[in-house]
Amino acid sequence: MKKTNALYEGKAKILWETDEPGRMVQEFKDDATAFNGVKHEVISGKGVLNNQISSHFFALLEEAGVRTHFVEKISDSEMVVERLSMLALEVVVRNIAAGSLVKRLGVEQGTTFDPPIVEFYLKDDDLNDPILSEEHVRALGLATDEQVAYLKQAALTVNRVLTEFLSERNTRLVDFKLEFGTTADGEMVLGDEISPDTCRFHDAASGKIMDKDRFRQDLGGFIDAYKEVLERVSS
C-alpha cells in the first residue's frame, strides 16, 4: 500500500488517500490543541502513543462486535482505516460530570450519572461545536431517525465495553467523544480515534488525571500520563 494525497489534515491527524480502493492511512500528529485550537503545542511522542492506544481500543471493540474503521496498525504513528463519509456530529457519553457540562449546567464536578448521558454536538469549529438536541440533528439533516437511534445504542455499547475493560485496570472512564461515518454501501461505522485526546481517564484510586486535561489545565506530566494509559490498556 502506498500513500498518495493528503485528503484531510486536522488538529491531531492527517488522512491520506492510498492506492487501494476504500482504504486510507490515518497518521497521528504530535500536535496538542485545546480551546478550539487557541492553545497549541507540538509534543514529541504524542502521535505514537495515540496511535497505539487507539489501535488497542479499536481491536477491543471489534472483538465485542462494534464495527469500526480500523484495519491495522502499520507504523508507530499510522493505521490503515476504512474510508468513511463522516457525519458532522460528535457523540459524547458522560459517566461523571466534568468539563463543559459542569460549567454549562452547574453540576458539581465528579457527580456520577446513572444511566450515562449521551449528547450530540455539531462538528463545526467556527461555531465552537454547539450542543444539539435530537430534534436539531434531524432538522439539520445530520442524521436520520434510524441513524440517531443507532448512534445512541452504539455509543452506550462502546461505553459499556470500555468501562468494564478499564475498571479492571484501575481506571475510571469519565467521558469520551466518538465520531461515526458511513461506508460506501451505507453502513454506519465508528471512526476517528479513541485516545486520551478524546476521552477523560482518571486513576480509580487517586483520581489522577491521565488525559488531555493535563494539557488544558497546565498540570504537566502530559506524555507520562499518556504512556501510563498505554501501559494499562495493553496489559
Residue 212 pLDDT more than 90?
A: yes
- Tell me the domains of the chain and their CATH numbers: 3-82 (3.30.200.20), 85-221 (3.30.470.20)
Q: What are the pLDDT digits (tens) for 166-202?
A: 999 999 999 999 999 999 999 999 999 999 999 999 9
pLDDT confidence bin for 133, thresholds 50/70/90: very high
Q: Are 169 and 87 in contact (CB under 8 A)?
A: no
Asked if residues 173 and 201 have their Cβ atoms less than 8 Å apart, the reply is: yes
What is the mean predicted confidence (pLDDT) over 146-173?
Answer: 97
Count CB-CB contacts under 10 A for residue 217.
10
CA separation, residue 232 to residues 134, 187, 208, 218, 228 (Å): 35, 32, 14, 23, 6
- Angle, vertex CA 47, rays to CA 118 and CA 93, nearest 5: 5
Phi, psi at residue 148, to the nearest 5°? -60, -45
pLDDT for 82 equals: 98
Q: What predicted TM-score, i.e. pTM, was given to this entire model?
A: 0.96
Helix (H, G, I), strand (E, B) or coil at 162: helix
> How far is residue 191's CA from residue 206's CA, in Å, rounded to a whole number?
32
Q: Which residue is associated with the grid cell 451505507?
A: 186
Report yes or no: 24 and 18 within 8 Å, Cβ to Cβ.
Answer: yes
Q: Look up cell 463543559; give the residue.
A: 100
Residue appearing with cell numbers 496538542: 32
